[in-house]
């Protein structure tokens, strides 16, 4: 299958793929946008293209309590490990005094097997980090991770355990500097906050920003880390706040310009790239006009830097488009993006779910009418200017 489709292992280059199908069995609830089914659909499309033959495939284990505690507080982990879904009933003021840490609301519901789900996501990310650290992988992929909102002792925005922070902490045992890049449509607030006080991690998030009407409401252009005199992490948080409807062309220009400058100045020894697919056009929660090609171009740009890299998943609430993006990005990792057919494989399971039989639907196919673009070129130049000035404060 792999040979007939032209997919072969990249020479002298190892890509590892980390997943745990048990994760896909967990459910946040009927109306909740986070559907683990998107992982099933993504994996099945990746396998249908024969890409597993070009990667080292690992069934990941659950992270241990001690591994989760490398970032999270033990009080929070103990509560997460013991709280039951039945704890949900609330009083007349919609409060439940037994619930804490932002758990049990509509964004972060309690469900059966929650702790296992969280530890599996963190396990995939940690295994990916260890493959990078041991230099057995050049790129390690963990599409089940990327849960960037979770805090040390708080769940937030569908995220309970911050697998990215845990993986970066592992990278820092070996690498002096890690660059975190986040192309999810939401601000990567949890990762940013975790590394606010170190100059060994630079965080960069591209996101829709509207402090009043778009979750989580943080990530303004001039939020660049606490600027106290003694904070080495000052200026090491880069935020790229965007408006609705940004296009592939504009995003590509911004991404290449900003990441190019950061890499030149910060000289990262490893990259953690969160590839949240809710920045694609037609996403149930997102607002951008990105296509699979534009989203993938970010992965391609990072791959060309030739720096060890972990690819994380993240958001993505229209499963057919999530599957397309992560499949295309897997093909970029194994360097076969020019070899795979843009027509979805005939034998792909759930092929009818994709509506169109192409890996690259047009904006018209996705949306009918594309979302209005509210990102004037002048504003994008101001953003680049701000980041350029910010980087003057970063020691190289
Ligand atoms: N946008 C959005 C959105 N939609 C929901 C939601 C909808 C239906 C449900 F049954 C449950 C929740 N919540 C939100 C956002 C959180 C977005 C999290 C994105 C996560 C990620 O992609 O970045 C990474 C995995 N929450 C809110 O907007 C908060 C509310 C303020 C409004 C919505 N209600 C349901 C909760 C409170
Ligand atoms: Ca982001
Ligand atoms: Zn998101």
Q: Counting Cβ atoms within 10 Å, is residue 309 exposed (0-12), middle (13-18) or buried (19+)?
A: buried
Q: pLDDT confidence of 89, banded at 50, 70, 90?
A: low
Place of tokens 């919609």: 94
Q: What is the pLDDT of residue 230?
A: 87
The ligand whose atoms approach the alpha carbon of 109 most closely is: 1
> Is 149 labeled as catalytic in the residue annotation?
yes
Q: Could you give phi then psi for residue 367, rounded to 5 degrees?
A: -115, -15
Average pLDDT over residues 24-42: 96
Nearest CA residue ID for atom 31, ligand 1: 215
Domains along the sequence of the chain with CATH = 15-88+96-391 (3.40.800.20)
Average pLDDT over residues 118-123: 97
Handedness of CA 219, 220, 225, 226 (dihedral sign): negative
Handedness of CA 278, 279, 282, 287 (dihedral sign): positive
Distance 354 CA to ligand 3 centre (A): 21
CA 263 – CA 285 distance, rounded (Å): 31
**Residue 108: is the preceding peptide bond cis (ω within 30°)?**
no
Q: pLDDT confidence of 99, banded at 50, 70, 90?
A: confident
- H or E segment at 300? helix 292-304
What angle, rounded to 10 degrees, do the helices at 114-133 and 163-172 form? 30
Distance 227 CA to ligand 2 centre (A): 22
Nearest CA residue ID for atom 9, ligand 1: 32
Instruction: Output the ligand 1 site: residues, CB below 6 A.
Output: 31-33, 106-107, 147-149, 157-159, 184, 186, 215, 276, 278, 285, 314-315
Distance 314 CA to ligand 2 centre (A): 9
pLDDT at 88 over 70: no
The ligand whose atoms approach the alpha carbon of 219 most closely is: 2
* Mean pLDDT computed over every residue of the chain: 95
Give the C-alpha distances (Å, rounded to integers) separating 358 from 107, 156, 303, 351: 33, 35, 24, 10
CA 308 – CA 326 distance, rounded (Å): 19
Q: Counting Cβ atoms within 10 Å, is residue 384 exposed (0-12), middle (13-18) or buried (19+)?
A: middle
Average pLDDT over residues 149-160: 98
The ligand whose atoms approach the alpha carbon of 284 most closely is: 1
Nearest CA residue ID for atom 8, ligand 1: 32
């Amino acid at each position: 299958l792999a040979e007939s489709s032209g997919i072969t292992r990249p020479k002298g280059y190892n890509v590892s793929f980390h997943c745990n199908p048990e994760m896909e069995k967990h459910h946040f609830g009927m109306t909740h946008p986070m559907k683990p089914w998107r992982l099933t659909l993504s994996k099945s499309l990746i396998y249908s293209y024969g890409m597993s033959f070009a990667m080292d495939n690992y069934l990941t284990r659950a992270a241990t309590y001690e591994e989760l505690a490398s970032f999270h507080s033990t009080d929070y982990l103990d509560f997460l490990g013991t709280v039951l879904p039945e704890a949900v009933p609330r009083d007349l003021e919609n409060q439940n005094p037994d619930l804490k840490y932002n758990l049990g609301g509509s964004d972060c519901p309690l469900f059966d097997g929650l702790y296992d789900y969280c530890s599996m996501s963190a396990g995939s990310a940690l295994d990916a980090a260890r493959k990078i650290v041991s230099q057995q992988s050049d790129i390690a992929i963990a599409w089940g991770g990327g849960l960037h909102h979770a805090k040390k002792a708080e769940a937030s925005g569908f995220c309970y355990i911050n697998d990215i922070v845990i993986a970066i902490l592992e990278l820092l045992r070996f690498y002096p500097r890690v660059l975190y890049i986040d192309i999810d449509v939401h601000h990567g607030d949890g990762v940013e906050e975790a590394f606010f006080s170190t100059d060994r991690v630079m965080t960069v998030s591209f996101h829709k920003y509207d402090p009043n009407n778009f979750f989580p409401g943080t990530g303004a252009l001039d939020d660049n880390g606490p600027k106290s005199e003694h904070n080495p992490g000052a200026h090491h948080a880069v935020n790229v706040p965007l408006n609705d409807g940004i296009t592939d062309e504009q995003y590509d220009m911004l991404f290449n310009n900003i990441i190019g400058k950061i890499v030149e100045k910060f000289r990262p020894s490893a990259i953690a790239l969160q590839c949240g697919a809710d920045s694609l056009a037609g996403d149930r929660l997102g607002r951008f006009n990105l296509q699979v090609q534009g989203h993938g171009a970010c992965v391609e740009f990072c791959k060309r830097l030739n720096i060890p890299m972990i690819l994380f998943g993240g958001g993505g609430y229209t499963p057919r488009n999530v599957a397309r993006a992560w499949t295309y990005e897997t093909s970029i990792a194994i360097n076969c993006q020019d070899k795979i057919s843009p027509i979805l494989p005939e034998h792909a399971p759930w092929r009818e779910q994709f509506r169109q039989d192409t890996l690259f639907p047009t904006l018209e196919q996705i949306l009918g009418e594309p979302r209005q673009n509210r990102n004037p070129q002048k504003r994008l130049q101001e953003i680049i200017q701000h980041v350029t000035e910010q980087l003057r404060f970063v020691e190289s």
